[in-house]
A = this chain, B = another copy of it.
Amino acid sequence: MTKDRQIAIALPTVRRLPMYIAVLEKAAQDGQAYMSSPQIAAVLGLEAIQVRKDLEAVGGTGQPRVGFPIRELIAAIETALGWDNATDAFVIGAGHLGTALAGYRGFARYGLSIIALFDTDPRKVGQTVHGKEILHIDKFADLVARLHVHIAILTVPAEAAVEAATRAAEAGIKALWNFTPAKLTPMDGVIIERVDLAASLAVLSSKLSSVVRSAEPAKPEQAGQI
């Protein structure tokens, strides 16, 4: 029952689940034991009916007039997401972004544990960032197999993305979290999920640039330093 449940959860629900965890944990910290779907919905600006459906999808069972027991509900959501067990991940590309992600302690909250970084640059290989070693990419396939790592976080430059992704797939990586600006073509047996910071910032900059230009057409003011 529990095993089958997760597969049935719709992706829009999956995307909202982390926000519920955040709200529930805050309430637990504040000493609350129960929280109702209208309460959760109010905090997040969502519809109560949507929140209730999402929580029912992970098997949360609320009590009338009381709501959901917070600790149990957090555990149910974490199980649904597979965040109840720490999942090891490798970072491919030890540049600025790979290094920043390796140091982002928030991933621990999501059950994601970055255990090493890989790069081709001999100046980087052998160094340690945030307590994690940078290894040569030639060691990647062997370590994926030995350590049963399923997730690779891709932070190589755009032009190296396709080669790195192919290499990861051949090594047996099952899920690629693609932070490069490159769009990867689907590969058999490999889940690809993309976070494109550069594209997102490009959209923001481009819209902002239009707004600022139309507001201050003559001479944009110079921002100073604190």
Tally of chain A residues near chain B (CB < 8 A): 88
Q: Which of B23, B184, B199 contacts A158 (CB 8 A)?
A: B23
- Stretch of A59-67, A68-76, A99-107, A119-127 with 4 or more beta carbons under 8 angstroms from chain B: A99-107
In angstroms, Cα B46 to Cα A184, docked, is: 10
Contact with B along A67-109 (1 / 0, CB 8 A): 0000000000000111100011000000111001101111100
In angstroms, Cα B183 to Cα A44, docked, is: 8
Contact across chains for A105 and B110 when beta carbons are under 8 A apart: no
A136 part of interface (Cβ distance < 8 Å): no
Please report which residues of chain A, range 156-205, place their CB below 8 angstroms from some CB of chain B when the two chains form the complex. Answer: 157-159, 162, 174-175, 177, 181-185, 189, 191, 193-205
- Copy tally for this chain in the complex stands at 2
Contact across chains for B6 and A225 when beta carbons are under 8 A apart: no
In angstroms, Cα B45 to Cα A185, docked, is: 8
The DSSP consensus for interface residues of chain A is helix
Minimum CB distance partner of A198 in chain B: B18
Hey, which bits of chain A sit against chain B, CB under 8 A? 3, 6-7, 9, 11, 14-19, 22-23, 26, 43-46, 80-83, 87-88, 95-97, 100-101, 103-107, 110-112, 115-116, 133, 143, 146-151, 157-159, 162, 174-175, 177, 181-185, 189, 191, 193-213, 221-226
Q: Which residues of B contact A175 (CB under 8 A)?
A: 204, 207-208, 211
Q: Which residues of B contact A9 (CB under 8 A)?
A: 206
Q: Which residues of B contact A150 (CB under 8 A)?
A: 208, 212
Using A151-B208, A175-B204 as known contacts, list a sample of 14 further A-B pairs with CB atoms less than 8 Å apart, ordered by residue number in A: A6-B213, A9-B206, A15-B199, A15-B202, A17-B202, A18-B198, A19-B181, A22-B157, A44-B158, A44-B159, A82-B208, A83-B205, A177-B200, A193-B201
